[in-house]
């Protein structure tokens, strides 16, 4: 009972099995979030085929093959995807439990996961990146419009005082 008050990213979501109409809206919102984060039935089917050995083999290939720089932290989209996929794919949660931290670090696990699932989730991740860029551009455009307006007003006030002085100078020159 006391645990219900805490926010925990890995808690189970309710099915909305009550008699009220809110269950349908919750399931529609959940389905939209699943699609936005790329957690599709195809991805879940793929995850059922994975094993801890697949992660270990990929880890060996990453270590031996290339000398890429260590992966940074997960993006916010990847974090949200990881939380959702762990709640939907119990097989992946079990693999993660078996491997982390005994065989690999959590960060390394997720790097391998995103490489293995790339073909399933990359269109959704690209869409999220594009959406974020558009949001940033809109915010920047809103700010730049304000700055441009102020600059134009300043130029107009400077221009009017310059034009007055140039008219005065012309009168003295005549």
pLDDT band at 29 (very low <50, low <70, confident <90, very high): confident
pLDDT band at 7 (very low <50, low <70, confident <90, very high): very low
How many Å from the N-terminal Cα to the C-terminal Cα in the chain?
Answer: 92
Q: Decide if 17 is inside a domain.
A: no
- Structural domains counted in the chain: 1
Mean pLDDT of 112-128: 95
**Residue-level pLDDT at 19:** 47
**Residue-level pLDDT at 70:** 52
Mean pLDDT of 3-28: 53
Q: Decide if 103 is inside a domain.
A: yes
Q: Decide if 2 is inside a domain.
A: no
Q: Decide if 5 is inside a domain.
A: no
More confident position, 106 or 64 = 106
- Residue 125 and residue 118: Cα distance in Å, rounded? 9
What is the tens place of the pLDDT at every residue in 36-64? Answer: 999 999 999 999 999 999 999 999 988 87
Omega of the bond leading into 101 within 30 degrees of 0 (cis): yes
Per the structure, the complete domain to which residue 140 belongs is given by 29-173
Q: Decide if 115 is inside a domain.
A: yes
- Residue 16 and residue 76: Cα distance in Å, rounded? 27
Q: Decide if 1 is inside a domain.
A: no
- 120, 38 in Cβ contact below 8 A? yes
Q: Decide if 11 is inside a domain.
A: no
Nearest CA-CA partner of 87 in 26, 15, 32, 13: 13
Q: Decide if 151 is inside a domain.
A: yes
Q: What percent of the chain has pLDDT over 70?
A: 64
Residue 144 CA to chain centroid, in angstroms?
A: 25
Alpha helices in 20-89 (DSSP H): 22-36, 41-49, 52-65, 76-88
């Amino acid at each position: 009972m006391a645990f219900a008050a805490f926010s925990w990213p890995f808690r189970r979501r309710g099915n909305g099995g009550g008699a009220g109409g809110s269950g349908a809206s919750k399931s529609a919102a959940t389905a939209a979030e699943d699609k936005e984060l790329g957690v599709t039935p195809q991805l879940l089917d793929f995850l059922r085929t994975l094993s801890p050995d697949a992660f270990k083999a990929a880890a060996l290939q990453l270590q031996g093959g290339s000398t890429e720089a260590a992966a940074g932290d997960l993006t916010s989209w990847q974090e949200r995807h990881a939380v959702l996929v762990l709640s939907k794919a119990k097989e992946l949660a079990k693999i993660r439990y078996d491997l982390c931290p005994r065989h690999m670090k959590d960060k390394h696990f997720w790097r391998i996961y995103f490489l293995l699932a790339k073909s399933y989730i990359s269109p959704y991740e690209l869409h999220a990146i594009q959406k974020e860029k558009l949001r940033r551009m809109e915010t920047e455009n809103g700010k730049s419009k304000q700055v441009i307006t102020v600059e134009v007003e300043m130029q107009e006030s400077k221009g009017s005082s310059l034009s007055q002085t140039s008219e005065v100078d012309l009168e003295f020159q005549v």
